[in-house]
Amino acid sequence: VVVLASGDPGFFGILRRIRATNKKREIKVFPAPSSISLAFARLSLPWDDAVIVSSLSRPLESCIRAICSHPKVAVLTSSAVSPSAIANLLITTCNPNQLKELSDKTFFVLSNLGDDSEKVEQATLDELAKKTFPPLSILISLDLDSDSLEKVNSWANDLTNDRLHFGQDEASYLYRDGMITKSEVRAVVLSKLKLGMEGIFWDVGSGSGSIAIEVSKLSPSLSVFAIEKDFDSASRIEQNSQMHRANVTVIKGEAPLVLDKLPHPNWVFIGGGGIGLFNHVYSQLVKNGVIVATFTSQERAVLAAESVGNMVEINVSRGIALENGTWRLSANNPVFIVWGSKDK
Protein backbone atom coordinates (compact mmCIF):
# COMPACT_ATOMS: atom_id res chain seq x y z
CA VAL A 1 0.00 0.00 0.00
CA VAL A 2 1.36 3.42 -0.95
CA VAL A 3 -0.01 6.60 0.61
CA LEU A 4 0.94 9.93 -0.94
CA ALA A 5 0.88 12.91 1.41
CA SER A 6 2.26 16.40 1.01
CA GLY A 7 5.02 17.68 3.28
CA ASP A 8 6.03 15.65 6.33
CA PRO A 9 3.28 13.11 7.22
CA GLY A 10 4.67 12.87 10.76
CA PHE A 11 4.05 16.57 11.44
CA PHE A 12 0.32 17.16 11.95
CA GLY A 13 -0.11 14.72 9.06
CA ILE A 14 -1.63 11.36 8.24
CA LEU A 15 1.07 9.16 9.81
CA ARG A 16 -0.61 8.96 13.23
CA ARG A 17 -3.86 7.73 11.67
CA ILE A 18 -2.01 5.15 9.54
CA ARG A 19 -0.18 3.78 12.58
CA ALA A 20 -3.43 3.59 14.55
CA THR A 21 -5.06 1.39 11.88
CA ASN A 22 -1.99 -0.66 10.91
CA LYS A 23 -0.16 -1.36 14.16
CA LYS A 24 1.36 -4.68 13.04
CA ARG A 25 2.57 -3.58 9.61
CA GLU A 26 6.00 -2.27 8.79
CA ILE A 27 5.71 1.36 7.74
CA LYS A 28 8.34 3.31 5.84
CA VAL A 29 8.12 7.08 5.73
CA PHE A 30 9.81 9.31 3.13
CA PRO A 31 9.12 12.88 4.30
CA ALA A 32 9.38 16.07 2.32
CA PRO A 33 10.01 19.44 4.00
CA SER A 34 7.06 20.38 6.19
CA SER A 35 5.06 23.54 5.56
CA ILE A 36 6.43 24.97 8.83
CA SER A 37 10.07 24.40 7.85
CA LEU A 38 9.38 26.01 4.46
CA ALA A 39 7.62 28.97 6.08
CA PHE A 40 10.49 29.78 8.43
CA ALA A 41 12.99 29.23 5.61
CA ARG A 42 11.19 31.88 3.57
CA LEU A 43 11.65 34.28 6.52
CA SER A 44 15.29 33.20 7.04
CA LEU A 45 14.53 32.33 10.67
CA PRO A 46 15.35 29.26 12.79
CA TRP A 47 12.32 27.52 14.25
CA ASP A 48 13.72 25.15 16.88
CA ASP A 49 12.34 27.49 19.56
CA ALA A 50 8.98 28.21 17.93
CA VAL A 51 5.61 27.20 19.34
CA ILE A 52 3.65 25.30 16.67
CA VAL A 53 -0.15 25.05 16.85
CA SER A 54 -2.62 23.46 14.44
CA SER A 55 -6.03 25.09 14.23
CA LEU A 56 -7.38 21.75 12.98
CA SER A 57 -6.34 19.52 15.89
CA ARG A 58 -6.48 21.97 18.81
CA PRO A 59 -9.17 24.28 20.21
CA LEU A 60 -8.93 27.75 18.71
CA GLU A 61 -8.28 29.13 22.19
CA SER A 62 -4.92 27.30 22.14
CA CYS A 63 -3.86 29.40 19.14
CA ILE A 64 -4.89 32.58 20.94
CA ARG A 65 -3.03 31.72 24.16
CA ALA A 66 0.09 30.69 22.24
CA ILE A 67 0.24 33.95 20.27
CA CYS A 68 -0.30 35.99 23.44
CA SER A 69 2.31 34.07 25.45
CA HIS A 70 5.26 33.45 23.12
CA PRO A 71 7.51 35.59 20.91
CA LYS A 72 7.60 33.10 18.01
CA VAL A 73 4.45 31.19 17.04
CA ALA A 74 3.35 29.40 13.87
CA VAL A 75 -0.27 28.38 13.30
CA LEU A 76 -1.41 25.97 10.61
CA THR A 77 -4.67 27.46 9.34
CA SER A 78 -7.46 26.19 7.09
CA SER A 79 -10.54 27.33 5.21
CA ALA A 80 -12.54 26.85 8.43
CA VAL A 81 -10.06 28.74 10.63
CA SER A 82 -8.32 31.39 8.54
CA PRO A 83 -5.60 33.86 9.61
CA SER A 84 -8.20 36.64 9.55
CA ALA A 85 -10.52 34.61 11.82
CA ILE A 86 -7.69 34.19 14.33
CA ALA A 87 -6.89 37.91 14.14
CA ASN A 88 -10.52 38.86 14.76
CA LEU A 89 -10.70 36.52 17.75
CA LEU A 90 -7.53 38.07 19.19
CA ILE A 91 -9.03 41.55 18.82
CA THR A 92 -12.34 40.62 20.46
CA THR A 93 -11.11 38.42 23.33
CA CYS A 94 -7.77 39.87 24.48
CA ASN A 95 -7.59 42.39 27.31
CA PRO A 96 -6.19 45.92 26.69
CA ASN A 97 -2.74 45.00 27.97
CA GLN A 98 -2.55 42.00 25.65
CA LEU A 99 -3.77 44.06 22.69
CA LYS A 100 -1.02 46.60 23.33
CA GLU A 101 1.58 43.82 23.25
CA LEU A 102 0.01 42.33 20.12
CA SER A 103 0.25 45.70 18.38
CA ASP A 104 4.04 45.43 18.76
CA LYS A 105 4.17 42.01 17.10
CA THR A 106 4.77 41.38 13.41
CA PHE A 107 2.54 38.93 11.57
CA PHE A 108 3.32 37.00 8.40
CA VAL A 109 1.00 34.85 6.32
CA LEU A 110 2.70 32.39 3.97
CA SER A 111 0.33 30.77 1.48
CA ASN A 112 0.57 27.90 -1.04
CA LEU A 113 4.19 27.18 -0.14
CA GLY A 114 6.09 25.35 -2.88
CA ASP A 115 3.48 26.22 -5.51
CA ASP A 116 3.69 28.73 -8.36
CA SER A 117 1.12 30.85 -6.49
CA GLU A 118 3.25 30.97 -3.32
CA LYS A 119 2.88 34.25 -1.46
CA VAL A 120 4.44 35.86 1.64
CA GLU A 121 2.54 38.77 3.21
CA GLN A 122 3.40 40.93 6.23
CA ALA A 123 0.63 42.66 8.18
CA THR A 124 -0.36 44.25 11.46
CA LEU A 125 -3.08 42.62 13.54
CA ASP A 126 -5.73 45.05 12.27
CA GLU A 127 -4.67 44.53 8.65
CA LEU A 128 -4.70 40.78 9.16
CA ALA A 129 -8.30 40.86 10.38
CA LYS A 130 -9.54 42.53 7.17
CA LYS A 131 -7.77 40.38 4.57
CA THR A 132 -8.69 37.13 2.83
CA PHE A 133 -6.12 34.34 2.49
CA PRO A 134 -5.93 30.98 0.68
CA PRO A 135 -6.90 27.87 2.71
CA LEU A 136 -3.31 26.53 2.68
CA SER A 137 -1.71 29.24 4.80
CA ILE A 138 0.68 29.47 7.73
CA LEU A 139 0.27 32.34 10.19
CA ILE A 140 3.48 33.35 11.96
CA SER A 141 3.54 35.78 14.89
CA LEU A 142 6.87 37.34 15.84
CA ASP A 143 8.03 39.69 18.56
CA LEU A 144 10.93 41.09 16.58
CA ASP A 145 12.23 43.08 19.55
CA SER A 146 12.48 40.02 21.80
CA ASP A 147 16.01 38.97 22.76
CA SER A 148 14.81 35.36 22.81
CA LEU A 149 14.58 35.31 19.00
CA GLU A 150 18.37 35.31 18.88
CA LYS A 151 18.85 32.64 21.55
CA VAL A 152 18.75 28.87 21.25
CA ASN A 153 16.11 27.42 23.55
CA SER A 154 15.68 23.68 23.99
CA TRP A 155 12.08 24.09 25.15
CA ALA A 156 9.63 26.76 24.10
CA ASN A 157 8.30 27.29 27.63
CA ASP A 158 11.75 28.48 28.72
CA LEU A 159 11.60 31.58 26.52
CA THR A 160 11.13 33.89 29.49
CA ASN A 161 12.80 33.14 32.80
CA ASP A 162 10.05 34.63 34.94
CA ARG A 163 7.50 32.17 33.60
CA LEU A 164 8.65 29.39 35.93
CA HIS A 165 8.80 31.38 39.16
CA PHE A 166 6.11 30.61 41.73
CA GLY A 167 5.46 31.31 45.38
CA GLN A 168 6.54 34.92 44.81
CA ASP A 169 6.74 37.38 47.69
CA GLU A 170 3.51 39.13 48.65
CA ALA A 171 5.22 42.42 47.77
CA SER A 172 5.02 41.34 44.13
CA TYR A 173 1.26 41.94 44.20
CA LEU A 174 -1.25 44.65 45.02
CA TYR A 175 -3.66 43.42 47.70
CA ARG A 176 -6.08 44.60 50.39
CA ASP A 177 -5.78 44.16 54.17
CA GLY A 178 -3.75 40.95 54.10
CA MET A 179 -6.13 39.38 51.55
CA ILE A 180 -3.47 37.34 49.78
CA THR A 181 -2.36 33.72 49.93
CA LYS A 182 1.05 33.81 51.63
CA SER A 183 3.95 32.79 49.41
CA GLU A 184 4.81 29.60 51.33
CA VAL A 185 1.18 28.44 51.29
CA ARG A 186 0.92 29.38 47.61
CA ALA A 187 3.88 27.17 46.77
CA VAL A 188 2.25 24.16 48.47
CA VAL A 189 -1.11 24.87 46.80
CA LEU A 190 0.53 24.94 43.37
CA SER A 191 2.28 21.64 44.04
CA LYS A 192 -1.02 19.99 45.02
CA LEU A 193 -2.79 21.25 41.88
CA LYS A 194 -0.55 19.14 39.60
CA LEU A 195 -1.21 21.41 36.65
CA GLY A 196 -1.23 20.17 33.07
CA MET A 197 -0.68 21.91 29.74
CA GLU A 198 -4.27 22.11 28.45
CA GLY A 199 -7.55 22.81 30.20
CA ILE A 200 -9.52 25.17 32.42
CA PHE A 201 -8.49 26.60 35.80
CA TRP A 202 -10.72 28.44 38.30
CA ASP A 203 -9.43 30.59 41.16
CA VAL A 204 -12.57 31.07 43.27
CA GLY A 205 -12.42 33.94 45.76
CA SER A 206 -9.29 35.13 44.01
CA GLY A 207 -8.48 38.13 46.26
CA SER A 208 -5.25 39.51 44.80
CA GLY A 209 -5.17 36.99 41.96
CA SER A 210 -1.78 35.63 43.05
CA ILE A 211 -2.74 31.97 42.57
CA ALA A 212 -4.38 32.58 39.18
CA ILE A 213 -1.41 34.62 37.98
CA GLU A 214 1.18 32.03 38.99
CA VAL A 215 -0.90 29.25 37.44
CA SER A 216 -0.97 31.26 34.21
CA LYS A 217 2.80 31.73 34.32
CA LEU A 218 3.47 28.05 35.05
CA SER A 219 1.06 26.74 32.39
CA PRO A 220 0.56 29.47 29.76
CA SER A 221 -1.74 27.28 27.63
CA LEU A 222 -4.42 27.00 30.33
CA SER A 223 -7.57 29.11 30.30
CA VAL A 224 -7.37 30.81 33.70
CA PHE A 225 -10.41 32.41 35.37
CA ALA A 226 -10.17 34.50 38.55
CA ILE A 227 -13.56 34.83 40.27
CA GLU A 228 -13.91 37.69 42.77
CA LYS A 229 -17.06 39.30 44.21
CA ASP A 230 -15.38 42.49 45.50
CA PHE A 231 -15.07 44.90 42.59
CA ASP A 232 -12.07 46.75 44.04
CA SER A 233 -10.22 43.47 44.49
CA ALA A 234 -11.21 42.40 40.97
CA SER A 235 -9.66 45.60 39.63
CA ARG A 236 -6.48 44.81 41.55
CA ILE A 237 -6.40 41.35 39.96
CA GLU A 238 -6.49 43.01 36.55
CA GLN A 239 -3.64 45.34 37.56
CA ASN A 240 -1.59 42.45 38.96
CA SER A 241 -2.18 40.42 35.79
CA GLN A 242 -0.91 43.29 33.68
CA MET A 243 2.17 43.79 35.87
CA HIS A 244 3.05 40.09 35.63
CA ARG A 245 2.06 39.77 31.95
CA ALA A 246 -0.33 36.96 32.86
CA ASN A 247 -3.26 35.82 30.74
CA VAL A 248 -6.04 35.82 33.37
CA THR A 249 -9.75 36.40 32.74
CA VAL A 250 -11.33 38.20 35.71
CA ILE A 251 -14.96 37.32 36.51
CA LYS A 252 -16.59 39.94 38.74
CA GLY A 253 -19.36 38.36 40.76
CA GLU A 254 -20.20 36.09 43.66
CA ALA A 255 -19.63 32.36 43.60
CA PRO A 256 -21.41 30.08 43.03
CA LEU A 257 -23.83 32.34 41.13
CA VAL A 258 -21.38 33.27 38.35
CA LEU A 259 -19.80 29.83 37.99
CA ASP A 260 -22.53 28.25 35.87
CA LYS A 261 -21.59 30.55 32.97
CA LEU A 262 -18.00 29.24 32.89
CA PRO A 263 -16.62 26.10 31.21
CA HIS A 264 -16.21 23.19 33.62
CA PRO A 265 -12.74 23.24 35.20
CA ASN A 266 -9.93 20.71 35.21
CA TRP A 267 -8.34 22.42 38.22
CA VAL A 268 -9.82 24.62 40.95
CA PHE A 269 -8.43 26.59 43.85
CA ILE A 270 -10.79 27.96 46.50
CA GLY A 271 -9.37 30.59 48.85
CA GLY A 272 -11.73 30.25 51.79
CA GLY A 273 -15.51 30.06 51.94
CA GLY A 274 -17.83 27.50 53.45
CA ILE A 275 -18.36 23.80 52.84
CA GLY A 276 -21.40 24.58 50.68
CA LEU A 277 -19.26 26.47 48.18
CA PHE A 278 -16.63 23.72 48.29
CA ASN A 279 -19.19 21.02 47.48
CA HIS A 280 -20.74 23.05 44.67
CA VAL A 281 -17.39 23.76 43.03
CA TYR A 282 -16.35 20.11 43.44
CA SER A 283 -19.50 19.08 41.56
CA GLN A 284 -18.46 21.28 38.61
CA LEU A 285 -15.08 19.57 38.13
CA VAL A 286 -14.57 17.37 35.09
CA LYS A 287 -13.66 13.73 35.65
CA ASN A 288 -10.16 13.42 37.17
CA GLY A 289 -10.19 17.16 37.87
CA VAL A 290 -8.26 18.44 40.90
CA ILE A 291 -9.56 20.70 43.66
CA VAL A 292 -7.41 22.48 46.25
CA ALA A 293 -8.82 24.72 48.98
CA THR A 294 -7.44 26.63 51.95
CA PHE A 295 -9.24 27.12 55.26
CA THR A 296 -8.45 28.95 58.48
CA SER A 297 -11.05 26.84 60.30
CA GLN A 298 -10.06 23.27 61.14
CA GLU A 299 -13.71 22.23 61.38
CA ARG A 300 -14.46 23.36 57.82
CA ALA A 301 -11.24 21.82 56.55
CA VAL A 302 -12.14 18.44 58.08
CA LEU A 303 -15.58 18.50 56.44
CA ALA A 304 -13.99 19.23 53.06
CA ALA A 305 -11.28 16.60 53.57
CA GLU A 306 -13.95 13.95 54.18
CA SER A 307 -15.06 14.52 50.57
CA VAL A 308 -11.66 14.45 48.87
CA GLY A 309 -9.38 12.58 51.26
CA ASN A 310 -6.37 14.84 51.88
CA MET A 311 -5.55 17.58 54.38
CA VAL A 312 -2.41 19.23 55.72
CA GLU A 313 -1.81 22.04 58.21
CA ILE A 314 0.79 24.66 57.25
CA ASN A 315 2.52 26.60 60.03
CA VAL A 316 5.01 29.19 58.81
CA SER A 317 7.34 31.24 61.00
CA ARG A 318 9.40 33.85 59.21
CA GLY A 319 12.78 34.92 60.47
CA ILE A 320 13.26 38.59 61.34
CA ALA A 321 16.75 40.00 61.85
CA LEU A 322 17.18 42.06 65.03
CA GLU A 323 19.49 45.02 65.59
CA ASN A 324 21.68 43.04 68.00
CA GLY A 325 22.55 40.55 65.26
CA THR A 326 20.19 37.80 66.39
CA TRP A 327 16.97 36.58 64.80
CA ARG A 328 13.46 35.97 66.03
CA LEU A 329 10.70 33.93 64.42
CA SER A 330 7.36 35.58 63.67
CA ALA A 331 4.56 33.05 63.22
CA ASN A 332 1.81 33.41 60.64
CA ASN A 333 -1.65 32.05 61.36
CA PRO A 334 -1.95 28.33 60.57
CA VAL A 335 -3.62 27.41 57.28
CA PHE A 336 -5.30 24.11 56.41
CA ILE A 337 -4.96 22.88 52.82
CA VAL A 338 -7.42 20.30 51.49
CA TRP A 339 -7.02 18.65 48.09
CA GLY A 340 -8.14 15.73 45.97
CA SER A 341 -9.33 14.61 42.56
CA LYS A 342 -12.75 13.79 41.20
CA ASP A 343 -12.91 10.22 39.92
CA LYS A 344 -16.49 10.27 38.63
Identity at 219, one-letter amino acid code: S
Question: Which of 130, 150, 170 is where one domain is finished?
Answer: 150
320 and 187 belong to one structural domain: yes
- Tell me: pLDDT of 2 over 80: yes
270 and 322 belong to one structural domain: yes
Q: How far is CA 233 from CA 176, 204, 228, 243, in A?
A: 7, 13, 7, 15
pLDDT, residue 72, reads 92
pLDDT, residue 300, reads 95
134 and 244 belong to one structural domain: no
296 and 171 belong to one structural domain: yes
Could you tell me which of 95, 123, 120 has the C-alpha nearest to residue 244? 95
Dihedrals φ, ψ of 51, to 5°?
-95, 125
128 and 111 belong to one structural domain: yes
- Are 13 and 5 a contacting pair, CB within 8 Å? yes
Residue 155 lies in a domain: no
Tell me what the mean pLDDT of segment 226-241 comes to. 94
222 and 305 belong to one structural domain: yes
Residue 70 lies in a domain: yes
Reported confidence tier of residue 153, pLDDT bands at 50, 70, 90: very low
178 and 288 belong to one structural domain: yes
- Length of the chain (residues): 344
| Coil, helix or strand at residue 110 | strand
CATH number at residue 199: 3.40.50.150
216 and 274 belong to one structural domain: yes
Q: How far is the C-alpha of 13 from the C-alpha of 212, rounded, in Å? A: 35
> What are 25-44's pLDDT values in tens digits?
788 888 888 899 999 999 99
Question: Which of 119, 150, 181 is where one domain is finished?
Answer: 150
For residue 71, the enclosing domain spans 34-150
**Ordered DSSP codes for 273-327:** --HHHHHHHHHHSPTT-EEEEEES-HHHHHHHHHHHSEEEEE--EEEEE-TTS-E
172 and 89 belong to one structural domain: no
**Count of domains observed in the chain:** 3
> What are 247-301's pLDDT values in tens digits?
899 999 999 999 999 999 999 999 988 899 999 999 999 999 999 999 999 999 9
258 and 112 belong to one structural domain: no
Residue 25 lies in a domain: yes
CATH number at residue 59: 3.30.950.10
Which DSSP symbol is given to 171?
Answer: G
Residue 156 lies in a domain: no
Average pLDDT for the chain: 88
What does the longest C-alpha to C-alpha distance in the chain come to?
83
Residue 322 lies in a domain: yes
251 and 129 belong to one structural domain: no
Strand partners of residue 120: 110
